[in-house]
Structure 1
Amino acid sequence: MLRSNAWAQIWSVIRVLAAGLIAAAIVRQLANTLEIATREGRDIGVTLVNYFSYYTILSNLLSVIVLLWAALWFWFRRRDEADEPPILARVLAATTTYMIITGIVYNTLLRGIQLAPGTSIPWTNEVLHVVGPILLALDLFLGPLRRRLPWRAAWTIAAIPIIWVIYTLIRGPLTTNPVDGSPFWYPYPFLNPNGPNGYGSVVLYIIGIAVAVIAVGFFVLWIGRLRGASVEEEESAEAQDAIDAPEHPHSTA
């Protein structure tokens, strides 16, 4: 059923609705953040860059893009395309990994942190940290026309989080916190080396999250390989068809 045209149509609509919900949460939270910054006279430029420096926002923004991409690909694909294009399959696998990590990290490390009243809107917070990750996890199991990716795709999945961590650690000490004037800004407390344990604690958290990303990435690839057709299988089937064709020649009588 999950590879039927009817199911693909239904799930493509669900992907568009999910993208719309996540996009609405991103925009609404951004509007609230900029409203507070304007009211309190904070640097709007720094506030805006900080907002899009959160792993949560980046992973959710990527979700919006890839969910819409997947739906539009299905509706406008060529007739001979039975599975997702390789690049779409890779980006979808990576995004699913990032969103699952977002849900895990938030609900294990960050949910109990108290923020200033009004800073976070409850419904947007839940969409970005809970609903969005669940939707992408469901897409892994229910999304149609999955392509079976090679295991080496796990290293592609790990690349973006590594780049984000490097960017965060370089930018952190170069950015003045627009809220309290501290000479540094980090999106999450576990990445802040100015605490009592310094960089030692940060390194441990980075290692732990890196292991989680790789583990979840392999899990996503494993599910995709169970559900999807590989390029090799498709080429083998086409080759077998070509071999079998001469065995049943059309009558010329």
Structure 2
Amino acid sequence: MRRTFGVLRVLAAAAIIVAIVGQFAKSLSMVPDPTAFVVNFFSFFTILSNGVAAIVLLVGAAYAFRRASDPPLFDLVRACATTYMATTLVVYNLLLRDISLDQATTLPWSNEILHVWAPLYLVLDWVLAPGRGRIPWSRFWWIAAFPVVWVVYTMLRGAVTGWYPYPFLNPEVSPGVGYDGVTVYVIAIAAFILLVGSGVVGLTMLGRRAAVEEPAADDRAMTPTAG
């Protein structure tokens, strides 16, 4: 089962990479300022979260082929990636699906992979794939670290350049009164990220790592018995 998910992780990571590269190449060929485009492109939460997810999937595939269970640090990083991708799935489909973003022409197939199918796979992989261990609640807050850094970076850069990756972060166009409207969106999304993150971490409490629960067959064979 671990090896099966290893193969699926490689395929999912490949799909994400192809989708990112495809959209990047398409948009780069149509923008007047390539330098600004590159920085803007890699400032989207979707692109960053998918990039992290692709790396996590490839590392997870390597672990699935070589180990019976995943290291605790990797479990935490994978929980973060799953949370961010689930957030991407929900925010896009609720707030952004019908909005055209200013990064040149969007490739429909790439858009669906990055916003729908890849996030769905990350969630299913987290729920179904064997080998993950428990994540202590004391580490739960690490899930919020990257989104906080991204929001601070986005708002500071937006104040200087006037460019924001998503309309609801732009105080000039966001519903509400300037930054008050933006604040409402940021708080709502932050709350959702924490809610999803708590569910992701909570799932690890439902079962224990099989490799920890039961010693390996070779170890049992070597264990002396009384008699």
Aligned to 2:40: 50
Superposition map of 1:82-121 within 5 A: 82-115=68-101, 119-121=105-107
Aligned to 1:180: none
After superposition, what is the alpha-carbon deviation per residue over 1:83-126, rounded to whole angstroms, capped at 9, x for unaligned?
21011101100000000000000000011113579610000000
The CA deviation at 1:74 is 2.3
The one of 54, 64, 80 equivalent to 2:54 is: 64
- Give RMSD over aligned pairs: 2.4
Q: Unaligned stretches of 5+ in structure 1?
A: 1-6, 176-183
After superposition, what is the alpha-carbon deviation per residue over 1:35-83, rounded to whole angstroms, capped at 9, x for unaligned?
111xxxx221110010000000000000100000001122233xxxx42
Q: Does residue 1:215 correspond to 2:205, yes or no?
A: no
Q: Whose radius of gyration is greater, 1 or 2? A: 1
CA contact (8 A) 2:170 2:182 kept: yes
Aligned to 1:187: 165
CA contact (8 A) 1:140 1:224 kept: no
Aligned to 1:4: none
Which amino acid in structure 2 is aligned with residue 22 of structure 1? I
Cα distance in 2 between the residues matched to 1:228 and 1:74: 17
Which amino acid in structure 1 is aligned with residue 172 of structure 2? N
With the length of structure 2 as denominator, give the TM-score of the two structures: 0.89
Cα distance in 1 between the residues matched to 2:109 and 2:144: 29
Cα distance in 2 between the residues matched to 1:188 and 1:116: 9
Aligned to 1:75: 65
With the length of structure 1 as denominator, give the TM-score of the two structures: 0.81
Aligned to 2:113: 127
Cα distance in 2 between the residues matched to 1:116 and 1:162: 24
Aligned to 2:138: 152
Give aligned pairs, total: 220
* SS at structure 2 position matched to 1:225: coil
The CA deviation at 1:235 is 9.2
More deviation, 114-123/62-71: 114-123
Aligned to 1:21: 15
Q: Unaligned stretches of 5+ in structure 2?
A: none
Cα distance in 2 between the residues matched to 1:12 and 1:208: 35
